[in-house]
Amino acid sequence: MKKTTDFLAMKENGEKIAMLTAYDYPSAKLAEEAGMDMILVGDSLGMVVLGYDSTVPVTLDDMIHHTKAVKRGAKDTFIVADMPFMTYHLNREETIKSAAALMQQAGAHAVKVEGGDHVIDMIHYMTSSGIPVVAHLGLTPQTAGVLGGYKVQGKTADAAEKLLNDALKCEQAGAFALVLECIPKQLAQKIAAALKIPVIGIGAGLETDGQVLVFHDVVTFGVERVPKFVKQYANINESILNGLQQYVKEVKDCAFPEERHTFTMKQEELAALYG
């Protein structure tokens, strides 16, 4: 690894952590080349690359498959892999096995799990077994069903208090970083100040220790509507579509391939061929 992976020091020094998801070789390669501090192989891949309506159908095998590709594309970047729905809930043994597969088979440096409550115990068990864990609180897409959809979390004083407490428990359980998704900026600021570990926000304002976004949202690739917290830095839908439409047209018009895309035979070989 050429870059620092001392994310705690980055927080202490006030250097923001830039994180992006990636799901395959080319996206990982570009994320690394752009200077990302951390890459997340998010289970958002279920939605943005596999076309499911939620992250729930994503399997451990899906995550292993995509993490391997990301690893090949970004050999010098710290890679976090999401643990899919219900792979860290049943019991400690299942949890450890799932996390170990993401690290040993797929090459992730760390895993990420959603939620407080009983997940805290799993975070403790994993970290004390040597598995680096990122926690994820606030809007946790795997449990959007019980949160009442994709909504801003922690807006009331009670909900904010619970989130702060959960965040502290994640830190105490040994998580080395925390993702906070879709919460008011004031709460994110309070949590980031209360924790020693870096807090990486997505829809959590500017006062966190870093930011994470979904690759396809950032470059507008395949996605149609994006959440309010996304900034679209590029629109590759447009350039891909333009290119593809031009290709169709040129095939129909016999404008492609041109001479420079075409192989030829020597005159004497041609003469021999046709006798």
Report, as residue numbers or ranges, the catalytic residues.
181
Q: Residues binding ligand KIV: what is the number (CB under 6 A)?
A: 12
Interface map 164-183 toward ligand KIV (x if CB under 6 A): ---------------x-x--
Q: Known binding site for 3-methyl-2-oxobutanoate: residues?
A: 43-44, 82, 112
Of 174 and 203, which CB lies nearer to ligand KIV in the complex structure?
A: 203
Of 82 and 171, which CB lies nearer to Na ion in the complex structure?
A: 82
Of 141 and 174, which CB lies nearer to ligand KIV in the complex structure?
A: 141
- Sign, CA torsion 44/114/202/35: negative
Interface map 78-117 toward ligand KIV (x if CB under 6 A): ----x-----------------------------------
Q: How far is the CB of 35 from Na ion (least distance, A)?
A: 22
Of 40 and 163, which CB lies nearer to ligand KIV in the complex structure?
A: 40
Among 44, 77, 87, 153, the residue binding ligand KIV under the rule CB under 6 A is 44
Q: Show the tokens assigned to 217.
A: 């949202």
Instruction: Say whether residue 202 binds ligand KIV (CB under 6 A).
Output: yes
Q: Known binding site for Mg(2+): residues?
A: 43, 82, 114
For 51-73, b/e burial (b = at least 16 CB within 10 A) is eeebbbebebebbbbbbbbbbeb
Instruction: Say whether residue 32 binds ligand KIV (CB under 6 A).
Output: no
Q: How far is the CB of 258 from ligand KIV (least distance, A)?
A: 42
Give residues in contact with ligand KIV (CB under 6 A): 21, 40, 42-44, 82, 136, 179, 181, 202, 212, 214
